[in-house]
Structures are given as structure tokens and as C-alpha cells.
Amino acid sequence: ETGVTQTPRHLVMGMTNKKSLKCEQHLGHNAMYWYKQSAKKPLELMFVYSLEERVENNSVPSRFSPECPNSSHLFLHLHTLQPEDSALYLCASSQDRAVGELFFGEGSRLTVL
Amino acid sequence: GNSVTQMEGPVTLSEEAFLTINCTYTATGYPSLFWYVQYPGEGLQLLLKATKADDKGSNKGFEATYRKETTSFHLEKGSVQVSDSAVYFCALRLTSGTYKYIFGTGTRLKVLA
């Protein structure tokens, strides 16, 4: 496999469920990102991991919990979400956090009922 | 603060028409500028980039010139095709040493046969 792979592509969950989104990059990059894409809004940066250390958290609610066990894998753990959290969640990677463009996965479409 | 402003869509054109999507930015220092494209059901892909003033980025017939004097990075294509139908995002990355990418809200392009 090449590029950035996200699973699942679609997820429907109730507000009391716990689920996780997974991202894997096969590009040898050192930085990985979670973005939230909602209709008619700019992409919102949620988390950045560089060399497996979290370096940014833009005041994201604690019901979103990231995990980065190594430089190739990134998870977003979800629990007690709200309907307004329904969105497309995009994972991206870059060579490192200082240079290079972002390479995105295809996204995980989340619907919270 | 730092920001990216794009023209609101949707933009609807006939095949072979000329395309311009306007993008202006506000940023400290000398940002790098990018255009990303998102085809239906997919993540964002880098279309072109420019890293310093007067640079022209180009790819697949699309072009954009980094204009520092007008703080703009307008996307152009001389003859659009139906396959160009997508959402186009203008973005900037602040001066080197940072991972902060700032995206516009996106402009949807629809090309009719």
C-alpha cells in the first residue's frame, strides 16, 4: 500500500458509543495530523504528532483522544460524542513538521446519532 | 491574525471555459502558498505550490502566481474539463519551522459538458 490510509471510511455511532479511527502512512514521514472537515468551514486542525510526541492541541474537546504509537500510525479515539461532531475526519502526514506539503488520506465520514 | 480568503462557490462553467478562483491571504512573514483539490469522496491532494514571491506553481494545466504586493495566489486554468469538477482549497504554511497550515473554506467547481 502507498500513501495515507484511513479506516473505517464510514462510521455511524450513538452518543454513548466508543469507537476509534485509524490512520496509517507508508511515506516515511515524521509528522501526522488529524483535521476535521465540516461543511462551509475551513479545515480545523485537531492534533499534530511529530516524532511520536504531540505538539499541538487546538482546544479540542476531551471526547476526542489521539494516540500515536509510532511514526506510521495514528488513532483518534472517540467517546460520548455529540451530533455536532458529525464531519469528515482527515488524517495527513508530512515529511516533518517544518517542511513539506501535507499528504491526506481519503477521510473517515463520521455520523453521530 | 493569519487567514486565507477564497471566493465563494459554487463556480459553474462550461467545458473549455477559462477558470479563475481568487485567493487572498493575511500572514506574518513569508508564507508558502498551496492549492489543494478534493475530488468527490476523496481526501485533499496537493495541486500546486509556491514558496516565495513571484514564484509560479503549475500542474495539470493549472497555474497560480505568488503575488506578495497584492497578497494573492489566484488559481487559473485556460480550458477546464468535466473531470476538473471538485472542491479547491487555498492554503498557506507560515514561515519555516512551523507546522501551521491555514486553509480557506474551499470553492466548489462544477464543469458542464
- Say what the pLDDT of residue A1 is: 56
- Residues of A with CB below 8 A from B41's CB? 106
List the one residue out of B90, B84, B106, B105 whose CA is nearest residue B13.
B84
Q: Please say whether the beta carbons of A86 and A109 come within 8 A.
A: no
* pLDDT surpasses 90 at B24: yes
Secondary structure (3-state) at B101: strand
β-pairing, B32-38 with A87-94? unpaired
Surface of B (5-44) touching A: CB under 8 A = 34, 36, 41-44
CA distance A15 to A86: 11
Mean pLDDT of B51-67: 96
Cβ separation B99–A31 shorter than 8 A: yes
- Say what the pLDDT of residue A34 is: 95
- Say what the pLDDT of residue A98 is: 61
A40: nearest CB among B42, B103, B105: B105
> B51-58: long-range contacts at Cβ-Cβ below 8 A with a sequence spacing of 24 or more?
B57/B33
Q: Please say whether the beta carbons of B91 and B104 come within 8 A.
A: yes
User: DSSP characters for B17-62?
Assistant: --EEE-EEEE-SS--EEEEEEE-TTS-EEEEEEE-STT-EEEETTE
Mean pLDDT of A89-110: 87
Surface of A (68-87) touching B: CB under 8 A = none
* pLDDT surpasses 70 at B97: no
A23-71: pLDDT as tens digits: 999 999 989 999 999 987 888 889 999 877 887 777 899 999 999 999 8
Residue B8's pLDDT band (cuts 50, 70, 90): confident
CA distance B65 to A103: 22
CA distance B13 to B82: 9
CA distance B19 to B74: 10
Q: Please say whether the beta carbons of B23 and B73 come within 8 A.
A: yes
A87-99: pLDDT as tens digits: 999 999 998 766 6
- Residues of B with CB below 8 A from A105's CB? 43
